[in-house]
Chains A and B, each alone.
Chain A
């Protein structure tokens, strides 16, 4: 009875202690606001072995460029980072040169505009936060560099938000300049539905740009932008786990052999 008690207790405590952080963090997270169940969108990068769909991420970048980037910055990214979604150096150079960025001061002490280079950061739509607010009815469009990591629900939340615009339910008044979104905390969001018509963005690869497809693509791009290391990280993780499992087996065998003469 006694050994049983201690064994069970020890096992329970050990398990609980390893689970505790997850429990603590999970609870800490769940209490943010009224829980809105997010639909589970299927992404290619889901699960422990998922990878980014390059074509989808490239379409997503096109959507960011043509739709989102008129208000949202991605200041942590440079054009050269786009090798991560499969663009080559020539494509990136050509792409960057479409944008004018400020440089300087030159020899006369003046700032000047020049076409962007691969090493430049993504051009920001507004000079500063105050300008961004002034142009957006007082609301600040958040930077999207790590938005997928900065929101509970991650990619599922971003996809849900982009597809979650609808007429407010009866009895709900939406404030002036605000929009109803069923997945936004509090349901009133300053951003008008950014993806509002099928075919809004025309893709060179012939993909049919439904709202849902566009939302998936841009979410894939933003997920890559937030975690560009994801594929390398997971591949390294698989190797680490295999290595440690073998090492663990060896360590166990060594211990057994050494202790064999003791008991």
Chain B
């Protein structure tokens, strides 16, 4: 073998030639083939792969849609209608893209829930988690700007409300808003830059997703027990075990997606967005898309504009500090008798915030939003730090394989589970 080539196991001479010079085949084999993965994942571990697929679907449909879409305030609405009527399968592309955003957020919210429930944000995965939060924030920005593009009433007024939030910044706020708008109101320059950014950001997300995966493959995945694999008996190769398990999740995901796209494509949207944007007519209630409602509720819980903006931003920023706010060495809520209830309440609280975010800002909804906002922050800033010190966790299992195989009851261990349990952890 000439010097300087990569050591390759590939048998096919052509592929081997490539792999020796650019070891992509070895890399995929290492990272997705033999990659040692905890053997005890439940189906919540499907959602990373599902998020990846959502991103791919959004980029694929979005690129094609952009070939037919016109980013001009006079033509945007009609160009979308033209896609729906005259472009071959344009309705399919657009409904996949519009509902794909909802599917993406469903998947990512479950992915984040899984992270919080099983303590995946804890050492050594802090940076992995923080990169994930960055992806989530980028997704929110992308989704918001995408919703503006059809230039319906909710597009226009949503853009007006959200960009106006920046005016809460003291002194320079109004100048920032003018700069964002490219003028003195939401208008053609705003639509143009939103289109440009809506096209750009998904590729930024793709880049950050690769960092997310790179970091994941350094630390390896967490698992429902929240204990590290202690040897080969605790792990199985990613392929074929998790490729096959992920494929079930993918089909279920596509099934839910198909039901939305083909049978209820407008269920998650707002009827007002089929009315062309009109700067002179304000809709009775301006409501963001469902996936923003919890944060919208936090925004409106505070009577002060700047305070609301700070809290809404804080609700996301607090996540970056979570690995240090929760210093309990036990990851999985399964072994945290008090924290698991606090987290269950946090989950319910999030749904109440989502519900109240869609209600008008009046009594009793404001009070409900305030109580829920208080709990949202208390969970991160008070309860988790407190429990980290005072909660007595349940005993952790000795190892993953012990915990998994003890469920089987008696009988000899099957061939795949051959490795002997470790003597001591």
Residues from chain A with a CB closer than 8 A to the CB of B102 are 21
Q: Total A-B pairs in contact (CB under 8 Å)?
A: 163
Pairwise interchain contact B44-A28, C-beta atoms closer than 8 A: no
Pairwise interchain contact A229-B84, C-beta atoms closer than 8 A: yes
B357 at the interface (CB under 8 A from A): yes
Q: Which of B21-29, B137-145, B180-188, B259-267 contacts A (4 or more CB under 8 A)?
A: B259-267
B291 at the interface (CB under 8 A from A): yes
Chain B stretch 243-258: residues in CB contact (< 8 A) with chain A:
244-245, 247-248, 250-252, 254-256, 258
Chain A stretch 3-24: residues in CB contact (< 8 A) with chain B:
5-6, 9-10, 13-14, 16-18, 20-24
Residues from chain A with a CB closer than 8 A to the CB of B75 are none
Least CB distance, B279 to chain A, in whole angstroms: 13
Least CB distance, B152 to chain A, in whole angstroms: 8
Pairwise interchain contact B81-A146, C-beta atoms closer than 8 A: yes
Residues from chain B with a CB closer than 8 A to the CB of A13 are 110, 113, 347
A227-242: CB near B (< 8 Å → 1, else 0) gives 0110001101110110
> Complex Cα distance A81/B261, Å?
23
B130 at the interface (CB under 8 A from A): no
A83-117: CB near B (< 8 Å → 1, else 0) gives 00000000000000000000000000000000000
> Complex Cα distance A254/B102, Å?
29
B57 at the interface (CB under 8 A from A): no
Residues from chain A with a CB closer than 8 A to the CB of B258 are 237, 240-241, 244
Interface size of B by Cβ–Cβ distance < 8 Å? 71
Residues from chain A with a CB closer than 8 A to the CB of B276 are 143
Pairwise interchain contact B416-A262, C-beta atoms closer than 8 A: yes
B351 at the interface (CB under 8 A from A): yes
Q: Across the two chains, which residue of chain B brings its CB closest to A5?
A: B340
Q: Per a CB cutoff under 8 Å, which of A9, A76, A236, A247 touches B262?
A: A236
A-B contact pairs, 20 of them (CB 8 A): A16-B351, A17-B113, A20-B106, A21-B291, A23-B355, A27-B355, A185-B284, A228-B85, A233-B95, A237-B258, A241-B259, A241-B262, A244-B254, A248-B252, A251-B248, A255-B245, A258-B240, A259-B241, A261-B414, A262-B417
Q: Which residues of B contact A (CB under 8 A)?
A: 39, 42, 44, 78, 81-82, 84-85, 91-92, 95, 102, 105-106, 109-110, 113, 236, 240-241, 244-245, 247-248, 250-252, 254-256, 258-259, 261-263, 265-272, 274-276, 284-285, 287, 290-291, 293, 334, 340, 344, 347, 351, 354-355, 357-360, 404-405, 407-408, 414-417
